[in-house]
Chain A
Amino acid sequence: MTVADTHIPDLTRRKPRSAGQIAGRVALYAVLLVMAGFVLMPLAVIALNSVRVNEDILRESFIGWPTRLTLENWGTAWSTACINASCTGVKPYFWASMLMVVPATVISTAVGLLNGFALTKWRMPCADVIFVCITIGVFLPPQVVLLPWAIALSWLGLAKSLTGLALVHIIQGTCFTTLFCRNYMINLPDDLIRAAQIDGAGFFRTFWRIVLPLSPPIIIVTVIWQFTFIWNEFLFAVTFSSSDFRPITAALMSLNADDTGVSEYGFGSAAVLIAAIPPLVIYFLGGRYFVRGLTQGAVK
C-alpha cells in the first residue's frame, strides 16, 4: 500500500496470482453460484414438479427429484383442470391472454412510435407539457383510476370484455411506449429528417422511409416490454374481465385460491409454468434488448 511503483504491475492481468487472490476468486464464484442457485430454485422446483406424480409430491415434499416421470400434469393443466368450477384447463385463458395482449402490444407500440416521432422531430407547441403529462400517465397508481375505468367501460358497453381490457391497456400502454420512443428518437440525427423535409417528404413519408428503418432497436424493446407487462398484469385483468373468459394471470389466481382439500401440485405447477412461458420465451429470445430496454428506458 505504501510504494506506488510496486502496484503498477498488479493491474496487468497476466501475472500469476497469489494465494490470497485465488482464495478471493474462489469466494467470489462461490457467492455468485449460491445466489444463482437461489434465484433458479423456484423455477427448477416447479419445472420438476410438473413432471412428478402428485402422490409423490404429497408424500415426499414439494421440493424433490422426480422418481416417476409423467407428462399427464401438462395435459391436465392445459385442457381438463377445473378452474372456477369449469373444467377446461388453462387453455381458454391462455388464448384469452393472447387475444388481448397481441393487439394491445401492436397498437400501443405503433402509436408510441408515431408519437415519439411527432414529439421529437417536429416543432410541437408545448411538447414539454405533453411529455410531463405522459410521464405522469406512466407513474399514476392504477388504483386511482380503477373505479372511473369500470364505470366508463360499462357506459361504453365494454364492461367485462376482452375488448374493454385491451382498450385500457392500449391507453395506459401508450404512455409507456411514447416515453420509450421519445427517449430513443430524440437522439436520432436531426439532419436526416431535415434533408427529407427539404426533399418535400411529409410526416408519414419521413416516418416510413427514414425513422422506421432506424428504429428496430426501440421497436424490439417496446414490444418485449409491452408484451411482458400486459401478459403479467393482474389488477386490470381481474377487474375488467368475466370469470369464464379472462387472462391467464386472473385464472391462475382462482386456481391458487381454490382450497378444495387435496392439493393438486402436479398440474398446478404445470399451469404456473404455462402462464410463465410466453414472457420467459420473449425474455430469452430478446434478452439483450430486454436489458437494454431496462437500462436505457429507465435511466433517462
Chain B
Amino acid sequence: MPSAPHAADFRPRPKSRARRISELVPLAVLLPTLITTGIYIFVFVIWNIYLSLTSSTLLPVYDFAGFDAYTRLWRNPRWTTGVWNLALFGLLYIGLTTLVGVVLAILMDQKVRGENLLRSIFLYPIAISFVVTGTTWQWILNPSTGLEAFVKQLGWQGFEMGLITSRETAIYAVVIAAVWHAAGFVMVMVLAALRGVERDLVKAGQIDGAPMLRIYRRIVLPAIWPVLISVLIILLQFAIKTFDLVLALTHGGPGISTTFPAIFVYDRLFAAGELAQGAAAAVWMLIGLVVVFLPVLALNWALKRRKGGAA
C-alpha cells in the first residue's frame, strides 16, 4: 500500500501512457451498451418508420409508398376501435387505480396493525404476469363457470353478470383485472411518500384545528406530488402497452370490441401479413406515448421549479 507522501507527489506528474489507457477503460465498458442501445432506440425506430412508408405486406420491401399505410390504417375499424378502447381504458384504469391506491395508502397510514402483511397482500398482484392475471379473471368472470354460476348456486337464480360476454361491457372486465393488478403498487408508492411527509407539520395543523381534508390538501398532497407523477408515468406505460392481459382475458373480443393498438400491431405484423400497416400503427403508438408524456413531464418540471423557488 503506498503511503500518504507517495500519493502527494503522484498527482502533478504528467500522465503516463498507461494512465491515459486506463482512463479509456470506463468508456470501453460503456461502449457495448452505447452501441446496442443506440441501435435499439435510433436505428430500429427509424427502420420501423421507414418500413411504415413502404408497400411491404408479407415480407419487407424497401420502396417508398408515402403515407399510404397510414391512411389505410385510419380507415380500418380494428385500429379505430383499438384507439378508442385504449383512450377509455387508459382513463378508467389510471383514474381508478390511482384512486384505489391513494385511498388504500391513506387507510394504511392510520397506524394499522399487521401493516406488513396487508402490504404484501395488496402488492403481490404486481409480481404476477398479465397472462396469469387475464387467464384467472377470465375464469372468474366467465358466466357459465365463474362468479355468476357461484351466485346462482348459492340460490339467487336470476343473477346475471355477462361482463365479458357483452360487446358493450367487456372493456370494463379488462379495467377490473388491470386495476386489481396495479392498485397495490400505487398504494405502496404513495404510502412510502406519505411516510416522508413531515409529521410536525401535520400535527401543527391538527393542533390549529384544521380539518383533515384541508391538512391533506395543503400539507400532504404537495409532498406526495412527485410520487403521483411517477405513478402516472408508470401507469401510462402499462396502459399503452396493454396486450397480453386483453389477449388472455377476452382475446380482444367479443368480436373486436376489446381490441387494442398493441394487439392490432401484432396482428398486422405476424398474422395478417400487413407489415407496413403494422409498422405505421406502431409509429402512432410512439407518437401517442410522446404526446401523453410531454404534458406530464412539463407538469413535473413546473412543480419542481415551483418547489425550488419556494425553498
A interface residues (Cβ-Cβ under 8 A, vs B): 1-2, 4, 7-8, 11, 13, 28-29, 31-32, 35-36, 38-43, 45-46, 57-58, 60-64, 111, 114-115, 117-119, 122, 124-125, 130, 133-134, 136-137, 139-152, 171-172, 174-175, 178, 198-200, 202-204, 228, 231-235, 239, 249, 252-253, 256-257, 263, 265, 268-269, 272, 275-276, 279-280, 282-284, 287, 290-291, 294-295, 298-299
Residues of B within 8 A of A252 (CB): 131-132, 135, 248
Give the complex CA separation of A272 and B249 in angstroms: 13
Within 8 A of A (CB), among B1-58: 1-2, 7, 10, 22, 25-27, 29-30, 32-34, 36-38, 40-41, 43-45, 47-48, 51
Residues of B within 8 A of A149 (CB): 44
| CB pair B248 A256 closer than 8 Å | yes
| CB pair B278 A174 closer than 8 Å | no
Q: Which of B67-75, B90-98, B107-115, B215-223 contacts A (4 or more CB under 8 A)?
A: B107-115
Give the complex CA separation of A42 and B122 in angstroms: 12
| CB pair A62 B26 closer than 8 Å | no
| CB pair A253 B30 closer than 8 Å | no
A118 shortest CB reach to chain B, Å: 4
Majority secondary structure, A binding face: helix
A66 shortest CB reach to chain B, Å: 14
Question: Given A4-B207, A40-B121, are A141 and B244 neighbors across the interface (CB < 8 Å)?
Answer: no
| CB pair A11 B206 closer than 8 Å | yes
Question: Given A62-B149, A252-B132, are A144 and B122 neighbors across the interface (CB < 8 Å)?
Answer: no
Residues of B within 8 A of A203 (CB): 22, 25-26, 29
| CB pair A298 B234 closer than 8 Å | yes
| CB pair B192 A148 closer than 8 Å | no
Question: Given A144-B45, A234-B131, are A31 and B51 neighbors across the interface (CB < 8 Å)?
Answer: no
Residue among B32, B130, B150, B188 making CB contact with A234, cutoff 8 Å: B130
Residues of A within 8 A of B244 (CB): 234-235, 249, 253
Residues of B within 8 A of A279 (CB): 127-129
Residues of A within 8 A of B121 (CB): 36, 39-40
| CB pair B128 A276 closer than 8 Å | yes
Question: Given A39-B125, A279-B127, are A62 and B118 neighbors across the interface (CB < 8 Å)?
Answer: no
Q: Which of A40, A63, A198 counts the most chain B CB atoms within 10 A? A: A63
Residues of B within 8 A of A28 (CB): 107, 110, 112
Per-position binary interface string of chain B over residues 236-261, scored 1 when its CB falls under 8 Å from any chain A CB and 0 otherwise: 01001101100110010000000001
Give the complex CA separation of A284 and B135 in angstroms: 22
Give the complex CA separation of A136 and B293 in angstroms: 12
Provide a sorted-by-A list of 15 A–B residue pairs whose CB atoms are within 8 angstroms.
Answer: A39-B124, A41-B140, A45-B139, A63-B146, A63-B149, A63-B150, A111-B32, A130-B30, A146-B265, A199-B2, A234-B131, A235-B244, A276-B132, A279-B127, A295-B189
A129 shortest CB reach to chain B, Å: 10
| CB pair A144 B208 closer than 8 Å | no
| CB pair A64 B150 closer than 8 Å | yes
Top 3 nearest A-B pairs (CB, nearest first) are: A232-B129, A234-B244, A61-B149
| CB pair A137 B40 closer than 8 Å | yes
B25 shortest CB reach to chain A, Å: 4
| CB pair B129 A275 closer than 8 Å | yes
B169 at the interface (CB under 8 A from A): no
B104 at the interface (CB under 8 A from A): yes
Question: Given A40-B121, A143-B282, are A60 and B40 neighbors across the interface (CB < 8 Å)?
Answer: no
Give the complex CA separation of A23 and B17 in angstroms: 76
B299 at the interface (CB under 8 A from A): no
Known pairs A61-B153, A175-B40 / 9 extra A-B pairs, C-beta < 8 Å: A39-B180, A42-B180, A134-B33, A134-B37, A139-B237, A144-B286, A199-B2, A249-B131, A276-B132
Give the complex CA separation of A269 and B240 in angstroms: 29
Question: Given A143-B265, A256-B138, are A249 and B129 neighbors across the interface (CB < 8 Å)?
Answer: yes
| CB pair B127 A7 closer than 8 Å | no
Across the two chains, which residue of chain A brings its CB closest to B56? A147
Residues of A within 8 A of B161 (CB): none
Residues of B within 8 A of A284 (CB): 120, 124
| CB pair B124 A122 closer than 8 Å | no
Question: Given A4-B207, A114-B29, are A144 and B285 neighbors across the interface (CB < 8 Å)?
Answer: yes
| CB pair B131 A39 closer than 8 Å | no
Per-position binary interface string of chain B over residues 181-205, scored 1 when its CB falls under 8 Å from any chain A CB and 0 otherwise: 0011100110011000000000100
Q: Which of A35, A38, A40, A122 counts the most chain B CB atoms within 10 A? A: A35
| CB pair B203 A144 closer than 8 Å | no
Question: Given A28-B112, A32-B112, A249-B244, are A232 and B26 neighbors across the interface (CB < 8 Å)?
Answer: no
Across the two chains, which residue of chain B brings its CB closest to A1? B209
Residues of A within 8 A of B293 (CB): 139
| CB pair B150 A147 closer than 8 Å | no
| CB pair A7 B36 closer than 8 Å | no
Question: Given A43-B124, A63-B147, are A122 and B26 neighbors across the interface (CB < 8 Å)?
Answer: yes
| CB pair A119 B122 closer than 8 Å | no
Per-position binary interface string of chain B over residues 161-188, scored 1 when its CB falls under 8 Å from any chain A CB and 0 otherwise: 0000000000000000000100111001
| CB pair A294 B185 closer than 8 Å | yes
| CB pair A140 B108 closer than 8 Å | no
Question: Given A28-B110, A256-B135, are A143 and B285 neighbors across the interface (CB < 8 Å)?
Answer: yes
| CB pair B33 A178 closer than 8 Å | yes
Across the two chains, which residue of chain A brings its CB closest to B136? A42
Across the two chains, which residue of chain A brings its CB closest to B51? A147
Residues of B within 8 A of A257 (CB): 247, 251
